[in-house]
């Protein structure tokens, strides 16, 4: 009887292991085809961390589905979406000012300013206080806040309002240059805005996760080599999905972040619609 039970337990264990192996194979295949895990998955999820891989894939699938809806909206309308809908949100209190984009980084920086900034009655950039939970300090001008950009924020606050836009645009270009200067031309405007919005290392990590290289936040030769093999618009879509995934996780982990989510999603949409459209095809 004991031998029979042992044989039955052995069969159950074998079926269980085969089922687990099959599930792992499916997860690896999905990760390889759609989310850039590729050969990296073995090292990233070593030591039985398949559960985390499943969570990552689930999050990415949800973000990709939302991005698909956003892309449909982009196709229907070229009108930019307001970066906020209530005063408690980050960004401008009204619809962004229409600013043309020729493809230059200066024009791209002015688009960023249009999404980030508030303006006075004369159309000049104004200084505004940040809402609680923003984590950017106490005030900012066009997204240049006194926590992460204290010197530039003070200069902007003290200068003639009519001179703020040109200064802010140049500052955005200089601040993001460690990333944009290393990228192929097609990616520069997109990543200039992303790096300013979510930090230099953060923007690189979104990119690395999107193309399936180690996400160390360093824009090195391996990342560039892989990037050169990709279609720019496809990469921008995948990077946008990675940011959506990040923002979704933030709001779920911290209810205080809920009020910022829609504005950040609008930013993802505006960025892809504006800078991605130059790289379709």
18-35 tens-digit pLDDT: 444 444 444 444 444 444
Q: What is the DSSP letter of 186?
A: G
Residue 12 exposed, middle or buried by CB count within 10 Å (0-12, 13-18, 19+): exposed
pLDDT, tens only, 163-191: 999 999 999 999 999 999 999 999 999 99
Residue 251: other Cβ atoms inside 10 A: 16
Residue 195's pLDDT band, with cuts at 50, 70 and 90, is very high
- Element housing 144 (H / E): strand 144-145
Encode pLDDT of 77-87 as tens digits.
655 555 443 33
What pLDDT, on a 0 to 100 scale, did the predictor assign at position 95? Answer: 42
Report pLDDT for 21: 46
Q: What are the structural domains, with CATH classification, of the chain?
A: 105-279 (1.20.141.10)
Q: For position 56, what pLDDT does the model report?
A: 66
Q: Please, which contacts does 120-125 make with residues 24 or more away whose CB atoms are closer than 8 Å?
A: 120/161, 122/161, 122/162, 123/97, 124/161, 124/162, 124/164, 124/165, 125/156, 125/161, 125/164, 125/165, 125/168
CA distance linking residue 255 with residue 142, whole number of Å? 26
Q: Which of 193, 191, 182 is nearest to 210 (CA)?
A: 191
């Amino acid at each position: 009887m004991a031998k029979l039970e042992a044989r039955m337990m052995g069969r159950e264990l074998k079926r269980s292991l085969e089922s687990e192996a099959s599930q792992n194979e499916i997860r690896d295949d999905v990760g390889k085809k759609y989310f850039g895990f590729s050969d990296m998955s073995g090292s990233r999820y070593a030591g039985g961390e398949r559960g985390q891989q499943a969570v990552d894939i689930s999050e990415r699938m949800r973000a990709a589905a939302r991005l698909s809806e956003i892309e449909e909206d982009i196709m229907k309308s070229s009108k930019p979406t307001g970066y906020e809908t209530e005063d408690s949100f980050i960004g401008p209190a009204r619809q962004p000012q229409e600013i043309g984009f020729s493809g230059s980084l200066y024009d791209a920086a002015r688009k960023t300013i249009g999404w980030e900034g508030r303006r006075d009655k004369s159309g000049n950039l104004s200084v505004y206080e940040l809402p609680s939970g923003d984590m950017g300090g106490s005030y900012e001008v066009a997204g240049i806040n006194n926590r992460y950009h204290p010197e530039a924020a003070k200069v902007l606050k003290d200068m003639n309002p009519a001179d703020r836009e040109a200064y802010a645009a140049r500052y955005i270009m200089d601040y993001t240059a460690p990333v944009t200067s290393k990228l192929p031309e097609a990616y520069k405007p997109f990543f200039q805005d992303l790096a300013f919005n979510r930090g230099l290392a953060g923007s690189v990590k979104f990119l690395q996760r999107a193309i399936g290289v180690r996400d160390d936040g360093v824009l090195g030769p391996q990342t560039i080599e892989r990037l050169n093999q990709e279609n720019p618009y496809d990469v921008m879509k995948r990077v946008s999905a990675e940011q959506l995934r990040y923002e979704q996780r933030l709001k779920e982990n911290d209810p205080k972040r809920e009020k910022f989510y829609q504005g950040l999603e609008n930013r993802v949409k505006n960025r892809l619609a504006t800078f991605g459209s130059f790289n379709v095809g």
